[in-house]
Amino acid sequence: MRSANILIKLEMELPYYPGCTLYTKAKPLNTSLHKSFGALGVKLNELPHWYCCGTTFNLAHDNRMSLIAPLRILAKAQNEDGKVIVPCSICYNTLKRANYILKQDPEALEIINEHLEESYDGNEEVIHPLEFFRDNKELFKDKLKKDLKGLKLGCYYGCLLLRPKEEVQFDDPESPTIFEDFVSLIGATPIDFPFKVECCGSYLVVNSPDAAVDASYKLLKNAQGNGAEAIVTSCPLCHYNLDALQKKIKIAHSEFNEIPIFYFSQILAIALGVEEENLGLEQNKVSPINLLKEYTLL
Amino acid sequence: MNNILKEKDFIRRIEEISNQKIYDCYQCGRCTAGCPFAKFMDVPPNQVIRFIQLGLKDDVLAASGPWFCAACLVCQTRCPRGVDIPRLMEAVRMIHLRAKEGLIDVDKIDKEFLLDAPPLALMSAFSKYTY
């Protein structure tokens, strides 16, 4: 009994904020992330009663109402460990920016705290899984079950993990490497390409799909030209634009060849030997099945 | 005189909403050069800023540029004068939205797309395009 108790204590637990899309269109990111963390010996504890962060950060300086949703989430999270894992790029960006503004702007701090049930000072640490993996490489020791050797993955960062630099402090905004390091860590071959930090079109897809198709086409072509066989990303909106818009890209550019888009957690789960039914690969519009079979990963 | 007052008023309003100093921009054009969506805009980012500096309210409000800004922040990262250009674009959008002039009618969005798109795409677009 005693040894079992010690084992339970050794298992790391971390507070976790999924955000709305991980319960709907980005379920594969949620499931494969839980399974991957589980395989690494870390339990993700979802925050109780969480709600939407407000999505894209509001840039109007005179409207502080939009800070309340993200800061309430963080104020509730602070009862936990002082840190929270956030995998969605948009949530990550919004929560981090709200925190930063609270620390920089005493007037905002005062106004916001009038609207929160509990007082909050902006000190809850928002952590992206890629940052967690970077700082906890030892967890991967002896855990990688499948050999991803030779699989060439284009590492697509998008905008919101990187910018604004001083507020998110994720990596160098023009030439980041955290994604490549992660892909190397799990045994695949990272592909660097100049468009890895360019915008995919984001919410323009709603009203100006042509602009999103154009942006996605350029960056996918650029990744393919540099040798990528698939793309990995962390943002559900980038994933949608890059994956779902390929149908429209093919109509506009007949020479275009389809390329599968993965969430980083799907690739990680594959490497860690997570069962196929927990990868959510069937939700990818451009099927990655053939590519994965080619590398005997399925 | 009346016109000059209106121009100053407009500039001050943009500066208040964005918390940026509009005359910090010296028109190097780097924002437009790196903007992935400049080619879709009738008035690209640096020219929107120039119009604001000149107090050309009507031209600024008629421009499509601010609506094509995806807030990707590439320009903000590269601006040698530290101007947060996406905040200026948001300020222009805000002037429209606070006057109840939205860009999209939610009821007219393609139903198939609505069911297919992730919630954060829709939420983001609604926060930028609707009042």
pLDDT in tens, A148-184: 999 999 999 999 999 999 999 999 999 999 999 999 9
CB contact under 8 A, A61 and B19: yes
CB of B91 within 8 Å of any CB in chain A?
A: yes
pLDDT per position as a tens digit, A247-292: 999 999 999 999 999 999 999 999 999 999 999 999 999 999 999 9
Q: How confident is the model at residue A10 (pLDDT cuts 50, 70, 90)?
A: low
Segment A89-103 shows an average pLDDT of 96
CATH topology for B2-99?
A: Fumarate Reductase Iron-sulfur Protein; Chain B, domain 2 (1.10.1060)
CB of A52 within 8 Å of any CB in chain B?
A: yes
ipTM of the prediction: 0.95
Domain extent listing, chain B? 2-99
pLDDT per position as a tens digit, A239-248: 999 999 999 9
Q: Is B120 helix (H, G, I), strand (E, B) or coil?
A: helix
Segment B18-43 shows an average pLDDT of 98
Distance from CA of A164 to the nearest CA of B (A): 7
Share of chain A above pLDDT 70, in %: 96
Domain extent listing, chain A? 13-129, 145-294
Residues pairing with A44 in the sheet: A14
Q: Which CATH number fits domain A145-294: 3.40.50.510, 3.40.47.10, 3.60.15.10, 3.40.50.11810?
A: 3.40.50.11810
| Non-local CB neighbours of A197 within 8 Å, separated by 6+ positions | A157, A158, A159, A162, A173, A174, A175, A176, B74
Average pLDDT over chain B, rounded to an integer: 96
Segment B121-127 shows an average pLDDT of 96
> What's the CATH code, domain A13-129?
1.20.1050.140
CB contact under 8 A, A202 and B124: yes
